[in-house]
Amino acid sequence: MSRIRVLVVDDSPLIREIIIKILEKDPEFSVVGQAEDGSEAVRLTQNIRPDLIIMDLYMPVMDGFQAIEKIMAYHPTPILVATTALAREGKSISFRALELGALEVIDKPVLSPGPGLSPKETDFLFLAKMLSRVKVISHLRGKLKRLPSEPPAEESRDADQFKIVAVAASTGGPKALLHILRGLPENLPAPIVVVQHISEGFSSGLASWLNHEAKLKVKEGAKGEELRPGTMYIAPTGFHMLVNSSRRIVFNSDPPLMSHRPAGTFLLKSVAECFGPRALGVILSGMGSDGAEGILEIKRRGGKTIAQAESDCVVFGMPKAAIELGAVDKVLPLDLIAGEIQKMLGEM
């Protein structure tokens, strides 16, 4: 018997983990995807065609109501809403979600300790199985209007032209970033997203300093912010910064990677997954190997990659790790990196 393929949608990594762990207690389920906002859920539903979607309602970028409407219009799929909003808002949100095409609205499940199933977990899994078998139909309502979060038609047509630069840096990174920024024009045809390992609370100061010195706009990244060409976004300390396919910034509070949060590898991998051959990865001076696996993923997916040469690195650890993985197209001194970024962007 084939397993029930589930897509789990919630902006909280912890809640996604809880739901997945409950589903994993029953061999009939297979979690085939995760999304942290409604826009990503719509895209994944189209790509992986799950048997069931378990979805929250209040999320950034596109909320659950909009996502339900969009999914049921174009890719009808059984949807189980799991939310904490029932206690606050009562039946009104249930009726709204059901009207849009969801099959049931429940409180978010709670994971019980140990391998066995609690009565509430048993009820949750039974409901999920029942709903996965429902033959749902298209809801025309979502086809009759364009959702507020949906980009205008002109933007949709040039979506494949969107390019992005992702940078990982550590010790010696701020000076290297400044050197590169001084060589880039203010109309650079791509945003730049950066993880720079820095002490807690200093990321906003770094962004302010670079913004004062550069032609490009430089700012600290904000949750849900849309990425715009000609702007550099510095990851704030304390969170992992990623991007999604809707060209927006996403934060999560997953554990540190190699003692780093934010971690360059997480950012670069998200850029690779969302933008593939339209991504350019750059590894600058730094201790350790953070970013190496991420820039390798960019190269695997057809993107272009650059590493700072040992000759002007304060610490050659991060570029060296990426080079040894075979993840780097060009190894360049700082004086040549800005020009190469512009050249590579022009070739995409």
Active site amino acids: 170, 197, 290
Beta bridge partners of 305: 281
Tell me the three-class secondary structure of the chain, residue by residue: CCCEEEEEECCCHHHHHHHHHHHHCCCCEEEEEEECCHHHHHHHHHHHCCCEEEECCCCCCCCHHHHHHHHHHHCCCCEEEEECCHHHHCHHHHHHHHHHCCCEEEECCCCCCCCCCCHHHHHHHHHHHHHHCCCCCCCHHHHCCCCCCCCCHHHHHCHHHCCEEEEEECCCHHHHHHHHHCCCCCCCCCCEEEEECCCCCCHHHHHHHHHHHCCCEEEECCCCCECCCCEEEECCCCCEEEECCCCEEEEECCCCECCECCCHHHHHHHHHHHHHHHEEEEECCCCCCCCHHHHHHHHHCCCEEEEECHHHCCCCHHHHHHHHCCCCCEEECHHHHHHHHHHHHHHC
Q: Which residues contact 134 (CB under 8 A, 6 or more apart)?
A: 78, 103
Beta bridge partners of 110: none
Amino acid at 117: L
Q: Tokens 């970028």, residue?
A: 61
Selection from 275, 270, 268 nearest residue 190 by Cα: 275
